[in-house]
Structure 1
Amino acid sequence: MTREVGGPVEPIADLPVDEYVDLPILERETVFEGRIWDVRRDTLEYGPDATRIVREYVAHPGAVAILALDDEDRVLLIKQYRQPVRARDWEIPAGLLDIAHEPPLEAARRELAEEADLVASDWAVLADYFTTPGGSDEAIRIFLARGLAAAPEAHAREDEEADMEVRWVGLDDCVDAVLARRVGNPSFTVGVLAAVAARSRGWATLAPADAPWPAHPNRRPAAG
């Protein structure tokens, strides 16, 4: 049953992670340990009757993505093969938060250099989102990178990255591709739609590059 809350209407916002500290996680186990991410099983008590429920999900280190925008309002896109969907999809540069204690902004700088051979002088937070909140705890922060220049050195790439295609595409053309359902990568979709909306508001919605990120996997409360 859905629940409606009376009283004054507040802006729509996800509840901060800290709101869930008192939600008892009775048991937590790793049921599959993979090379990059695991499958986790949590047993918890939920609701006023403390109903015991079990949920399994992909435990993910989190990731960053970068919408690199040049002075002509063009977005740096890469086309890369992705085995789970058996497709070469268009994406914006992105990478895992898999280096211990690395700040998200530093991870974004590293990924932009490694995947696109670019550096940027102007960084801001464009959007934060959960990829699949019903089945994974993966959280992604999308940065807007401007003031672009070539990196001091090109990076060697291997595996799926070895034959990546790189293309500069107008921001409005990227939106057209999303609305025409020609692309399906979530960071591409969220990033370009957020960028167009932010641009229409004079970029006033951007957050500082080091803005707090409560959904970051390393910031969430552990099992009790």
Structure 2
Amino acid sequence: MLKDTPEEWRVTATATPFTGKKTSVRTDEVVMPDGSTATRDYQVHPGSVAVLALDDQERVLVLRQYRHPVRHKLWEIPAGLLDIPGENPLHAAQRELYEEAHVKAEDWRVLTDVYTTPGGCDEAVRIFLARGVSEAEGERYEVSEEEADMEVARVPLADLVRGALAGDLHNNCLVVGALALHAALADGALDALRPAEAPWPARPFTV
């Protein structure tokens, strides 16, 4: 079995040339295996959660949202930042599903954990599978900025898989989540998925 392992090379100097609202940029001087030193710039990120919400017709809840850095409107699954260091990712995922789609779910599992761009960013994302979905009670969350223009749809999982393989869908959480769920269904392995509060070494939390 292949398995990623933690390792940390020695850093001789570090600086933070930019600090933003949610993320920052760090510059590290890192000692290489041959003894030389190399400069590595990367984005420091609090971490994120995403939710693949599957209804009883095997349709996935998706959102269409403008993403300025790539100048595209992308189909995505509900997702958001871990707002507080050490925040329970399940609670964050439930919040994002409610705020972005006004939906709740009865059954939660960890679908997969990924690093989005490990060569240039330390962002870690936990993607959840949520089943038993239904409309949430109460008033809808008031959206603004890019989210004010957001579209919501329910799409068959098979269509998302085809779209990902055809190069028509590009959001990493949607693509990874759809392909991971497709594989789990094909193997009959849904019951083997990790529980919703499984440990997450990349972003440790308290239950």
Same fold at TM > 0.5: yes
Q: 2:167 — aligned with what?
A: 181
- Residues in 2 aligned to 1:24 and 1:205: alpha-carbon distance in whole angstroms: 38
> How far apart in 1 are the matches of 2:196 and 2:13?
36
The answer to whether the aligner puts 1:157 opposite 2:143 as a matched pair is: yes
1:83-98 alignment, distance < 5 Å: 83-98=68-83
The range that moved more, 118-127 or 199-208, is 199-208
Aligned with residue 209 of structure 1, among 184, 196, 206: 196
1:205 shift after superposition: 4.0
Q: Tell me the C-alpha RMSD between the 2 structures.
A: 1.4
Larger radius of gyration between Structure 1 and Structure 2: 1
Shift in Å, 1:120: 0.8
Q: Residue 215 of structure 1 aligns to which amino acid in structure 2?
A: A
Partner Cα distance (1:114, 1:27) in 2: 41
The SS at the match of 2:118 is coil
TM-score relative to the length of structure 1? 0.87
- What SS class does the counterpart of residue 126 from structure 2 fall into? strand
Aligned mates of 1:104, 1:39 — CA distance in 2: 24
Matches within 5 A, 1:40-59: 40-47=26-33, 49-59=34-44
Q: Give the Å deviation of 1:67.
A: 0.1
Query: Are the aligned partners of 1:198 and 1:204 in contact in 2 as well (CA < 8 Å)?
Result: no
1:190 to 159, 167, 176: 176
1:7 counterpart residue number = none
How many residue pairs get aligned? The number is 203
Identity of aligned residues (%): 50
Rounded Cα–Cα distance in structure 1 between residues aligned with 2:51 and 2:29: 35
Find the aligned partners of 2:191 and 2:108 in 1 and give their Cα distance.
14
Q: How much has 1:117 moved relative to structure 2?
A: 0.4
